[in-house]
Amino acid sequence: MTVRTVAIVGAGIAGLTAALCLARKGIASHILEQADRLEEVGAGLQISPNASGVLAKLGLLPTLESQWLEPERIVLASGRTLRPLTAVPVGTQARRRWSYPYGVLHRTTLQRVLIAAVQAEPLAHLHLGAKVDRYNPTAIATQTGEAVDLIVGADGVWSKLRTAVPAAPPACFSGSVAWRFMVPFDRAPPLFDPRSVVAWIGPSAHLVAYPLAEAQSFNIVAIHQGTAGRQIWSGQSGDDGIRMDAFSGWDAGIRALLQAANDPLTWPLYECADGRWYNNSDLILIGDAAHASTPFAAQGAAMAIEDAAELAAAVSGNVDLPDALSSFEKRRRERLKRVRARADFNRFAYHARGPIAFARDVILAIRSPESVAADFDWLYGYQPKF
Ligand SMILES: Cc1cc2nc3c(=O)[nH]c(=O)nc-3n(C[C@H](O)[C@H](O)[C@H](O)COP(=O)(O)OP(=O)(O)OC[C@H]3O[C@@H](n4cnc5c(N)ncnc54)[C@H](O)[C@@H]3O)c2cc1C
């Protein structure tokens, strides 16, 4: 069959990118978004070359490049001593080694660029205030105004459509919470590097900082253990504040910065284990709806973008739709298993203590930048089929 029209539930990064990728293949889409207007929510995002390659093919890179920054390196450093432990060269190296740039930007910037592209795309139709409470093809066809060949569940970590996929993985609390706030460039302490993404690590917590050109500020994310909290779409003010005991023994400058954090927002971090994304009929999940993950590998949005490209490629042309969706799911689950394993490893390594932390530091110290970069070839060098 030829897929002509698709309903996409959710106008997040997954849903908007999917609409653009489908349009490139000549497939029309209706994006059903529950919000009445697309609000500016979220934090900073690191967009790695595996995802920026898709954005390049969609023609969005020049606009993004004019607004984002391309850090020279990603540094891992000790939270106690600030001593760098290792660094992955990105910047021009990312373009050379993995063909596409590594950019950092505010989520709002990416969302605005995607929305503008969707609005300029005759094959993509955005419906705001269109909540989809459950999987019901007839009700969805009423919302889109026409019958569709496929329903894409891109409704995020609290996906309603997920319940219609037998053996789909539920979202479970990871045990960690993230806190995010910004520090303007002109008030940032010298330990912040405007040319790097820096992750300071310690036994119970870690802290990531990188510059956002659009906000003229550093985006700071602190992660430590916490409680599940409410299921929310965007960050909320926390009652308890950042747990300073998780940063005990850390550098005094970092502690002072955390204590002075202006209005930090918190996210309980939920994740989905491996499981089915396809209902063996006309519904497929992508993005966080399928595979929400912790930000320990900074790949959630990147995986949503990869999904969008590969799904469009899978269903374009004259296809056996169940076959196309089954192989899409199989291929993507394999990739996600590897990414999840990397995030789990990072969580273990970042928060290690005692002899394990000592061994980690020794191993990192003897590795060359070339061998550290080579470790990311499978992740950043991956070019989604599109
Ligand atoms: C602290 C933190 C830092 C992160 N850093 C990075 C990073 O550096 N790099 C990276 O790649 N990723 C990062 N991520 C992950 C990334 O933000 C997410 O993986 C990504 O935004 C998921 O996109 P999505 O489109 O699948 O879901 P969402 O962005 O959640 O979008 C879902 C959309 O569906 C809509 N919706 C929901 N339910 C319904 C319904 N019933 N009907 C209609 N519409 C509905 C919602 O309103 C929303 O617009 C980070 C996450 C966190 C918490």
Residue 290 located in a structural domain: yes
Which CATH number characterizes residue 320's domain?
3.50.50.60
Q: What is the pLDDT of residue 350?
A: 85
- Closest residue by Cα to atom 41, ligand 1, is 132
Any atom of ligand 1 within 6 Å of the Cβ of 293: no
pLDDT of residue 30: 98
Q: Judge whether 165 and 283 are in contact, CB under 8 Å.
A: yes
Within 10 angstroms of residue 85's Cβ, the number of other Cβ atoms is: 21
pLDDT value at residue 341: 94
3-class DSSP assignment, residue 181: strand
Q: Is the CB of 287 under 6 A from ligand 1?
A: yes
Contact of 332 with 384, CB cutoff 8 Å: no
CA 86 to chain centre: 23
Indicate whether residue 132 lines ligand 1 (CB < 6 A): yes
pLDDT in tens, 139-152: 999 999 999 999 99
Ligand 1 in contact with 11 (CB < 6 A)?
yes
Tell me what pLDDT residue 28 has: 98
Residue nearest to atom 37 of ligand 1 (CA): 155
- Is 261 part of any domain? no
pLDDT tens for the chain, residues 1 to 386: 999 999 999 999 999 999 999 999 999 999 999 999 877 666 899 999 999 999 999 999 999 999 999 999 999 999 999 999 999 999 999 999 999 999 999 999 999 999 999 999 999 999 999 999 999 999 999 999 999 999 999 999 999 999 999 999 899 999 999 999 999 999 999 999 999 999 999 988 999 999 999 999 999 999 999 887 665 555 555 556 888 999 999 999 999 999 998 888 888 899 999 999 999 999 999 999 999 999 999 999 999 999 999 999 999 999 999 999 999 999 999 999 999 999 998 888 888 888 888 888 888 888 888 898 999 999 999 999 99
Q: Tell me what pLDDT residue 265 has.
A: 86
pLDDT in tens, 2-54: 999 999 999 999 999 999 999 999 999 999 999 998 776 668 999 999 999 99
Atom of ligand 1 nearest to the CA of 131: 42
Does residue 195 lie within any of the structural domains?
no
- Determine the distance separating the centroid of ligand 1 and the alpha carbon of 13, expressed in angstroms: 7
What's the rounded Cα separation, in Å, for the pair 40 and 96?
Answer: 33
Measure CA 184 to chain center.
24
Whole-number Å distance, alpha carbon 277 to ligand 1 midpoint, is: 17
220 contacts 191 by C-beta, under 8 angstroms: no
Closest CA to 52 of 42, 62, 40, 43: 62
Question: Any alpha helices (H) in 99-249, and if so which ranges?
Answer: 107-119, 137-144
Query: Would you report the helix, strand and coil content of the chain in percent, each value rounded to 5?
Result: 40, 25, 35
Q: Is there an atom of ligand 1 within 6 Å of 79 CB?
A: no
By most ligand atoms within 8 Å of CB, the mutation choice from 34, 108, 159, 296 for ligand 1 is 34
Determine contact, residues 284/154, Cβ cutoff 8 Å. Answer: no
Cα angle, residue 155 at apex, residues 153 and 269 outer, rounded to 5°: 125
Residue 10 Cβ inside 6 Å of ligand 1? The answer reads yes
Instruction: Please check whether residue 10 is in contact with residue 289, taking contact to mean a CB–CB distance below 8 angstroms.
Output: yes
Four-point Cα dihedral 99, 15, 170, 143, nearest 10:
-170
Nearest CA to ligand 1 atom 2: 295
**Best mutation site among 115, 162, 233, 307 for ligand 1, i.e. most ligand atoms within 8 A of its Cβ?**
233
- Asked if residue 207 lies in contact with residue 222, where contact means CB atoms within 8 angstroms, the answer is yes
Question: What does the alpha-carbon distance between residue 380 and residue 302 come to, in Å, rounded to a whole number?
Answer: 10
Q: From CA 345, how far away is CA 61, in angstroms rounded?
A: 31
Structural domain containing residue 158:
5-171+272-380
Three-class SS of residue 178?
strand
Distance between Cα 383 and ligand 1 center (Å): 22
Closest to 257 in 3D by CA, of 300, 304, 283, 218? 218
Q: How far is the CA of 281 from the centre of ligand 1 (A)?
A: 25
Site of tokens 């496929």: 150
Is 166 part of any domain? yes
Neighbours of 122 (CB within 10 A): 7
Residue 253: what residue type?
G
Do the beta carbons of residue 31 and residue 127 sit within 8 Å? yes
CA dihedral for 17, 161, 275, 231, sign (positive or negative): positive
* Overall number of domains in the chain: 1
Q: Would you say residue 317 lies in a domain?
A: yes
**pLDDT at residue 76 in the model:** 94
Say if 259 falls within a structural domain: no
| Ligand 1 center–CA 288 separation, angstroms | 6
290, 307 contact by CB (below 8 A): yes
Q: How far does residue 156's CA lie from ligand 1's centre (Å)? A: 5
179, part of any domain: no
Please check whether residue 299 is in contact with residue 167, taking contact to mean a CB–CB distance below 8 angstroms.
no
In this structure, are residues 46 and 210 in contact, taking their beta carbons and an 8 Å threshold? yes
Instruction: Pick the closest to residue 284 from 257, 312, 243 (CA basis).
Output: 312
Quick check: is 277 in a domain?
Answer: yes
